[in-house]
Amino acid sequence: MRQYSNINRRDVLATGLAASTLFPSSAVAAKTEEHPVALTSHGPVRGYIRDNVKTFKGVRYGADTSERRFQKPVAPIPWQDPVDSFDYGAASPQRGDREAMGEDCLFLNVWTPALADGGARPVIVYFHGGAYNSGSGSHSLYDGVNLVNKGDVVVITVNHRLNAFGYLYLPMLTGGAFPDSGNAGIWDLVLALGWVRDNAAAFGGDPSRVMVFGQSGGGAKIATMMAAPAARGLFHSAATMSGQQVTASGPLNATERARAFLDAASIEYDDVESLKTAPAEKMIEALSAVDPINSERGLYFGPVLDERFLTQHPFWPEAPAQSASIPMILGNTKDETRNLIGNREPDTFDLTWDEVPARLARHMRVDISPIEVLETYRRVYPDYSPSDVFFAATTAGRSWRGQVEESDARARQVAPTWVYQMNLPSPLDGGKWGAPHTFDIPLAFDNMEKEGSMTGTGRSARRVADQLSKAFINLARNGDPNHDSIPQWGKHNLPARETMVFDEETQLVSDPRKEERELFAKVPFIQWGT
């Protein structure tokens, strides 16, 4: 059982507690007004108070996965004495530097106004981005204090297994061993949502009003769960931000990727014992393998159509019937690729017209003539520069297109759906980023001043943050995002495609970017990696 020896000094000091709290005596630690104790279904946890919000970080919801590598997660062994929940738990092993990583990573974080008071508050559960490869629920932008104080809600963020630890598909290489390996990371999220159901009331929440929301990979995980029988009934509304999962990986492609990974890790395909015990560091190094399906890209990991967790693609050929009654918001930013591509290839901000077609061919991720794309954009947007065209077309072809597929599928299903487009530009670097990928995270959390935010704190940003965060709170509370600070937000219907455009002036628009949508509708959409 995880015990905590490292308290987050910044957050503890922010509570105004005496310095002795950093090394508390038993008498001080027992003061529930300073360190509230919540009784979870597995045992008691002790948190702290910041800005009137009871905060619990690193709460265990699952057992150490190093002992169940590539398998479905299980509940932890119950404990009796309160466990300090002052600091975030470890993130899943991944490439890059983090303060704490490890296979013992099934932890979540809770922010709440009150404990076990019968308040029946909506519970808002956030799944982090980073595709299926990286990230954690501990980023400063995901801090739940402002949402709690604004909406009288409970906020939860989650860690779970990623990359090969969560999505390496092994059954066809191991004679049927590890049958749940291709979706182990999303099985973790199902276990976390079961924890939310069982513990919502202990944290002042309502288990019948659980909203999941997530950005990028977090949204894709939600889309996947909407089609998964194991997740049925665990959440009651959903919001995805720049995160779609129209199709999943097939088992054959997933198996080829597993071969490439195991080759890079120097592990025999059928060596079950080595698969269970290989050092995590060795596996992280193997993540740099080239993707065997598309050698121009890194190795893809994501959900697999394994006939266990997934028996159908998430949103193909239609929206999943099991989630047709779930109210859902789908949103994207107008300039997704300005940072997704621009950060890696800074010369894309200075393209010439002659250079655009080749760059489009590399980055659109759909099989369409880049010459036709270029000509269409120059006709529709005559004031656009070559770089403007590049970023707009790559956003539409590779990022926004999945949202169009999902929202239109739900409209055909007559499912309660609201769509937004974030147009408000970032003020950073002279406005070069537009409204880029991740821009709406601090707006949804009302965390514009946190490290990593690109929104600034000007009047328009504050207004849009208030509008978007209230919309998410209202979706969680009422199943409808409408509130007094925005125009009436009509549901997404065909052919009108009503879309709330958040900008210097927020307004409901019918079928924005119609010409772009029609251009890319010429070609079938299959999600990258699947």
pLDDT, tens digit, 9 for 90 and up, residues 280-301: 999 999 999 999 998 888 899 9
Asked if 297 and 386 touch (Cβ cutoff 8 Å), the reply is: no
Per DSSP, 498 falls in state E
Residue 22 has pLDDT above 70, yes or no: no
Of 131, 193, 120, 123, give the one whose Cα is nearest residue 158: 193
Using the predicted structure, report yes or no on whether residue 2 has a pLDDT greater than 70: no
pLDDT of res. 388 = 98
- The closest of 195, 143, 135 to 161, measured between CA atoms, is 135
Residue 400 has pLDDT above 80, yes or no: yes
Counted residue by residue, the chain has a size of 530
Distances (CA, A) of 265 to 98, 258, 300: 22, 10, 16
What is the rounded average pLDDT of the residues 346-357?
A: 98
- Residue 238's pLDDT is what? 98
Spatial separation of the C-alpha atoms in residues 52 and 94, rounded to whole Å? 34
**Strand 37-39 to 44-46 pairing:** antiparallel
pLDDT greater than 60 at residue 32? no
pLDDT at 252: 97
In whole angstroms, give the CA distance from residue 475 to residue 124: 10
Q: What span, in angstroms and rounded, lies between the C-alpha atoms of 290 and 296?
A: 8
3-state secondary structure string across 67-133? HHCCCCCCCCCCCCCCEECECCCCECCCCCCCCCECCCCCEEEEEECCCCCCCCEEEEEEECCCCCC
Find how far residue 201's CA is from the centre of its chain.
24
Q: Residue 189 has what pLDDT?
A: 98
Distance, CA of 393 to CA of 380 (rounded, Å): 12
Domains and their CATH numbers in the chain? 9-241 (3.40.50.1820), 327-520 (3.40.50.1820)
Q: Which helix (H) or strand (E) holds 416?
A: none
Q: What is the pLDDT of residue 19?
A: 31
Q: Whole-angstrom Cα distance, residue 530 to residue 527?
A: 6
Residue 216: active-site member:
yes
Residue 11 has pLDDT above 70, yes or no: no
Residue 327's closest CA among 242, 424, 209? Answer: 209
**Would you report the helix, strand and coil content of the chain in percent, each value rounded to 5?**
35, 15, 50
H, E, C per residue of 317-372:
CCCCHHHCCCCEEEEEECCCHHHHCCCCCHHHHHCCHHHHHHHHHHHCCCCCCHHH
What pLDDT, on the 0 to 100 scale, is given for residue 527? 85
pLDDT in tens, 226-257: 999 999 999 999 999 999 999 999 999 999 99
Which residue has better confidence, 33 or 264?
264
First vs last Cα of the chain: how many Å apart?
Answer: 38
Tell me what pLDDT residue 4 has. 31
- Confidence grade of residue 17 (pLDDT, cut at 50, 70, 90): very low
Alpha-carbon span 177 to 76, nearest angstrom? 23
Q: Is the peptide bond before 317 cis (omega within 30 degrees of 0)?
A: yes
**R_g of the chain computed on alpha carbons:** 23
Tokens of 433: 């980023």
Q: What is the mean pLDDT of residues 483-511?
A: 98
Q: Per mean pLDDT, which range of 133-142, 227-236, 290-299, 370-379 is the poorest? A: 290-299
205-224 per-position pLDDT tens digit: 999 999 999 999 999 999 99
Strand 83-84 and strand 48-50: the pairing is unpaired
The model's pTM is 0.92
CA distance 258 to 299: 9
Whether 165 shows a pLDDT value over 60: the answer reads: yes
Residues 6+ apart with CB under 8 A from 203: 38, 54, 56, 110, 112, 115, 116, 123, 154
pLDDT at 27 > cutoff 80: no
CA neighbor of 4 nearest in space, from 109, 66, 85? 85
- 2's enclosing H/E stretch is none
* Dist CA 185 CA 155 (whole Å): 21
Residue type, 524: P
Q: List the catalytic residue out of 85, 216, 323, 426.
A: 216
CB 110 within 8 A of CB 156: yes
Mean pLDDT of the chain: 93
Who contacts 312 (Cβ-Cβ below 8 Å, separation ≥6)?
227, 305, 320
